[in-house]
Chains A and B, each alone.
Chain A
Amino acid sequence: MTERENILARVREALKVPAPLPGSHDDVRSHSIPPVAGARQWLPKVGDSFEDQLALFAKNALGLKADFQLLNLAEEMRQALIRLRDSGSWKRVACHSGPLTDAICPMLDRPLLRTDRPYDVQALEACDVGISECDALVAQTGSVLVTSRSAGGRALSVLPPHHVVLARREQLLPDLPAAFELLKRKYAGNYPSMISFITGPSRTGDIERILVLGAHGPKQLTVLCF
């Protein structure tokens, strides 16, 4: 027998005796809670209107020390990016091809490294910023949902010291259940090899539980949304 068969045989043997239902040690008597389907009723509250959700995303981003800029036009996004370029004195910029990045990144007037074609990791590490699109923004947690397909692979959103996300308002989702619904709808059967919820810039509390930003990933996260 292979180890797979050995382990599965032991699992099946072990499961012949049923286990008590969860909560049997306290006063829970009914076990009819539909898992997950109910998650939305238990998770932190998200407002009903789009404006509420947008405000919640902004509030969460602030708490996470991420920079969220709500803009009105694509043109404003270009200007915001140029301001970031100047304040961060970007010399080298990394990005990938996409409708928003293609429209805006070339105007930055900086050498562009594209990660959606074969690229050199050392060169990406030397970039001052990684600019990517995303799959969604999640109001409930202030998260940015990226995948290897939508955001230029695995490294672009985590290797450079500053990650800038370009997003559109209609990408805002209320909560985490909605984000998983989107993933299933968009990719079921053919998922990208990496899916990541990014919630603020990289952080650590490993030294005396004191918050430090930029442990290994980006020190700064900017979300530009129009």
Chain B
Amino acid sequence: MTTFATQFTEQAKRMTRDLRHRQIIRTALHNYEIVRDQRKAAFQDWPTARQAAAETKWEAINHLDQHLVAFADKLAARGTKVHWASTGAQARDIILGIVRDKQARSIVKSKAMTAEEIHLNEALEHAGFDVVESDLGEFIVQLRREPPYHIVFPAMHLTRGEISELFQRELASAPTDNPEELTMIARRVLRKKYITADIGITGANFGIAETGMISITENEGNARLTAALPKTMITLLGIEKILPRIEDLAMFLPMLAVAGTGQSLTCYNTLYGGPRQPAETDGPEEFHVVLLDNHRTELLADAEQRDALHCIRCGACLNVCPIFRNVGGHTYNTTYSGPIGSVITPHLRGLQDWKHLSAASSLCGACTEACPVKIDLHHHLLQNRRNAAAGKPAFFERLAYRIFGIVANDPTFWSLAKKLVWLTQPLQKLVQGSALDPARAWTQTRDLVPVARESFKDWWRNRP
């Protein structure tokens, strides 16, 4: 049962020593930090905006039943087919059902972390359908057959040279180290896909309860093309994406952009309220919205950590996290990495299997400070530690602390223990770092501070 934890520790150890990886991530995030701070400063009052955003999400999540009903009914009233999926398997079946029903030949997809969560692409490919990611970063990692490295910057761990080699191998393109030329290669390949695809699959950043619309934020225009050209559009979103009112976006769209990429507004922020309406000449004939639970209601039931469902997936907490920046996104081996992933993965995939992520934190609180909706991230990591320990107490650890408690409470035992430690200290030196070393977990990577012969108490008593 410790396989995920062991994997994490081993890969983290390897990645933290990889100085090239560290340099790539630092370079990639350096400019982000500068522009993000400029954009925050341009706000008249960023702290109050954060508090208001947190309260709006609180309102949405704590009345989620009403908002979900309004959202679904408004969408349905304008011809959208709304589906509800309790599990990832149900969501996959619903989408596979639609795709089979349409006898789709090719599927174009824009970025959706929820689809990563339920392994949608694998399911579609396994059923014999051709699905292509259209976001440039997602397209690159799909060609590499690996999951996105970061929820907002999927290919930030790759250099242009690596991408050029990948394109040469997979797309038979000419070598180039020019990011613009590389982008144009992908543009040409994907243009054909949009035009021929029967089905477009998207995620959503927000679901508006008041008007029954989904909102998609993107820079490239790939989601807009995905929602414009194929005859059938399918949108998969988690039930927590709800916002009560359309005007809430006046604040959430710029805040998502500032926190996510350091832009004042992302290039395309688009609302979709249905399939092609009478008198409209393009857009999908059918629009399906799939609402996904997949353990979200379990997190909802944990009132203490319910605010983790406020997350708008901007990735700001990843960008500032010293752990993420050193171990990298793939080390987590989860759909959602970084602080938010460490908080929610134990809820979505099992506390005992994923409790090691609660320790993947320096508890510096940079994540909590960066979060535009004020999720109490680093305290939730502590709460997960507490819950994991309460759910499965470690026998030896409890025994050790019980003995320590007895010794520390008794002055005679305590002074005896001090003497004993000082005396046996040289023995520890002989086995330092080996399997026999009782302090091995510490001494593997750190020096053990030697115990002084005379304690402060003794010195004070014996001072001249």
Residues of chain A at the chain B interface (Cβ within 8 Å): 2-4, 6-8, 10-15, 17-23, 25-26, 28, 31, 33, 35-36, 38-39, 41-45, 60, 115-119, 121-122, 125, 141-143, 148-149, 153-155, 158-159, 175-177, 179-181, 183-184, 191-210, 212, 214-218
Count the B residues whose beta carbon is within 8 Å of the partner chain — how many? 115
Is B68 a contact partner of A193 (Cβ separation < 8 A)?
Answer: no
Given contacts A180-B249, A196-B271, A205-B261, contact A153 B195 (CB under 8 A): no
Q: Which of B46, B140, B187 interacts with A216 by CB under 8 Å?
A: B187
Bound-complex Cα distance A200 to B268 (A): 8
Encode B67-90 as 1/0 by CB contact (under 8 A) with A: 011001000001000011110001
Residues 110 to 151 of chain B near chain A (Cβ within 8 Å):
134-137, 140
Contacts of A175 in B (CB 8 A): 250
- 9 nearest CB pairs, A to B: A217-B221, A22-B54, A215-B220, A206-B137, A154-B228, A14-B301, A10-B297, A42-B49, A14-B300
Given contacts A7-B86, A121-B195, A196-B268, contact A15 B307 (CB under 8 A): no
Residues of chain B at the chain A interface (Cβ within 8 Å): 27-29, 31-32, 42-46, 48-49, 51-52, 54-59, 61-65, 68-69, 72, 78, 83-86, 90, 134-137, 140, 153-156, 158-160, 163, 179-180, 182-184, 186-187, 190-191, 194-195, 211, 213, 219-222, 224-225, 227-229, 239, 245-251, 253-254, 261, 263-277, 280-283, 291, 293, 297-298, 300-301, 303-304, 306-307, 310, 368, 373-374, 376, 379
By CB atoms of chain B within 10 A, which of A2, A60, A180, A195 has the most? Answer: A195
Contacts of B261 in A (CB 8 A): 205
Given contacts A35-B56, A43-B251, A215-B221, contact A11 B153 (CB under 8 A): no
Is A194 a contact partner of B297 (Cβ separation < 8 A)?
Answer: no
Is B220 a contact partner of A203 (Cβ separation < 8 A)?
Answer: yes
Is B179 a contact partner of A153 (Cβ separation < 8 A)?
Answer: no
Bound-complex Cα distance A113 to B313 (A): 39
User: Main SS of the interface on chain B?
Assistant: helix
Is B221 a contact partner of A202 (Cβ separation < 8 A)?
Answer: yes
Is B179 a contact partner of A207 (Cβ separation < 8 A)?
Answer: yes
Bound-complex Cα distance A199 to B298 (A): 38
By CB atoms of chain A within 10 A, which of B190, B228, B239 has the most? Answer: B228
